[in-house]
Structure 1
């Protein structure tokens, strides 16, 4: 039975490779928000455009696809049309994609931010928490009220991990800061995001950060005359007087790598989590209001993170109740990070 299973995996891989070599490759992308959001889907689409420029490759996308049944319909439609690779870029697409993947063994399915995989389906994400730590350092250095606001989408490990990394970065340069969190329960709703930011500003925050797809929180900060930290892409054009920097995505290298692997027949299903060393995550340029000494300190730490000399989640790290979650002298492993459902000390808010 084991030999039969191994042979089936080999044949599946060969089928994928031969299909890719026989014709121009068609690559599909599924986005949870419009590509004009200036945020998450916009960043993924920049990666798609890089793939579009590759020889023998055609791409297509569907934007503003709701998580759940709608995404299954869109992914299934792409598979039926013979797409060679399908990238589904939101957490809620995981189970629908897995269901479709089982029906199309010769198609490569790539799910972003999830944890499930199959013989023809990988999951992938980037270590955005590394760039969030750096952006926290900037926020911690620039705050006067020592209250930072964070507009957050959903209380899932990805978002909680980012909030914790941001808080640790801020505390590294300003131990007295606190980070207040407001949940919007939406990935993309500019009006809701902006109102959430306003509530944090009313609570005394003078730097607004976000895990949201629109520049709404940035605009709220600029209207109030305080600072902001963006996300996904360089949002400085929306709030030039406010925008300090942003943790941003650079998907082009990874997407081109996957396409080449499929073309060459070397692709294998995996769980991929590249970071700053691979150029997948980075910081947007600093705003002109960020002092040079702050820029230098953050840039030096960025070099340490990229080289592996510094780990963001190094102990001791305590939770909100003061209990040690990561012991002194230890570093949180990926399992701990991927399952993170608790806030670090200094975060004001609940994980619900």
Structure 2
């Protein structure tokens, strides 16, 4: 996307959503930047559902706008600056790679509040929010381990950051719990949303004999490839229901709406403060989509029991004994990982033969 296209998009969206407020007080202007298109069917689609939930909740008390398909880097900084200059007093930046641009722009606009998804840098006017996706991966891994016939499971990673490494490890741990013969193959797409790269990654995995594909990328391309090959997969970030009942046999759904409604409400009533939030299945932020009838009833029941145990806090997906890939001990019997350990995770667990790129 070039600069003209980027800011033409800003203008078009702003004009479309900037009808004069009927109330005496001006509406709170809330901006979003997205790393992908709103029609990606995955990550960005779910964030935009949250934006729409804000409008439904607050009506003419708010005015929202968004810029889609913003690359992580200099373009993000320009897009954030444009939103701030346009009068948005609360801005949500919805991808990990927007972190430094958020911090740079926030320093220039101290009267604007920023929220950064999946990041770890904060300031007085910058909050962070994340979801415990690894909890949902544990459920998907259980289904994958039970349903693979080749004992080879594939995982398409986006970037080798802690969030993605958590997901790969959690999926593998729980696949192997129910099937000790499971192997995991990992392919890196180096993109959050690139259907062509994701399709190529899925094809590479299928060529290695994988019959179950998990993904931490945002398009439905891997599911389309799985469908062609007679393999199965899972919806990522959104339900991806168009591929039910198979190859999409279940999904991880990111439900951002409650958080967005809460944070906009905090700005409206003057209680907003910078904080870090990391919510999961028990909080309703990570949901498990319908497990279809393509999954045997006993496997479905096993997966739902695990989901409930995680939601209640009875079970933590990273519970020892667990070793690192190099064989060194990580977690002793019964020990659980701390949030600090998880937020900096930079290793695979024992049994995953893949390497983590630098």
Q: TM-score with structure 2 length normalisation?
A: 0.90
Is 1:195 equivalent to 2:224 in the alignment?
no
Contact 1:218 1:239 (C-alpha < 8 Å) held by counterparts: no
Is 1:116 equivalent to 2:118 in the alignment?
no
Distance 1:351 1:312 in 2: 21
State which of 82, 87, 111 in structure 2 corresponds to 1:82: 87
Where structure 2 has 5 or more consecutive residues not aligned to the other structure, the ranges are 1-23
State which of 42, 45, 50 in structure 2 corresponds to 1:47: 50
Is 1:251 equivalent to 2:251 in the alignment?
no
Deviations 1:110-163 (A, max 9, x none): 000110000010011100110011010011111111110011111111111110
Deviations 1:178-215 (A, max 9, x none): 11100111111101101111111111111011000101
Where structure 1 has 5 or more consecutive residues not aligned to the other structure, the ranges are 1-20
Shifted more, 36-45 versus 172-181: the winner is: 172-181
Deviations 1:211-259 (A, max 9, x none): 0010111111110011112211111314643111111101101110101
Say which SS state the counterpart of residue 109 (structure 2) adopts. coil
Is 1:97 equivalent to 2:108 in the alignment?
no
State which of 27, 32, 36 in structure 2 corresponds to 1:33: 36
Say which SS state the counterpart of residue 301 (structure 2) adopts. helix
Say which SS state the counterpart of residue 340 (structure 1) adopts. coil
State which of 233, 236, 246 in structure 1 corresponds to 2:238: 233
Distance 1:236 1:179 in 2: 25
Say which SS state the counterpart of residue 237 (structure 1) adopts. helix
Contact 2:245 2:293 (C-alpha < 8 Å) held by counterparts: no
Q: Which residue of 2 aligns with 1:342?
A: 347
Say which SS state the counterpart of residue 53 (structure 1) adopts. helix
Deviations 1:267-312 (A, max 9, x none): 1101110111110001111122011111111111111111111001
Shifted more, 125-134 versus 97-106: the winner is: 97-106
Say which SS state the counterpart of residue 136 (structure 1) adopts. helix
Q: Which residue of 2 aligns with 1:297?
A: 302
Q: Which residue of 2 aligns with 1:6?
A: none
Q: Which residue of 2 aligns with 1:209?
A: 214
Distance 1:216 1:319 in 2: 32
Distance 2:150 2:125 in 1: 51
**RMSD over aligned Cα atoms:** 1.3
Is 1:242 equivalent to 2:233 in the alignment?
no
Distance 1:270 1:151 in 2: 31
Q: Which residue of 1 aligns with 2:134?
A: 129
Say which SS state the counterpart of residue 268 (structure 1) adopts. coil
State which of 46, 66, 88 in structure 1 corresponds to 2:71: 66
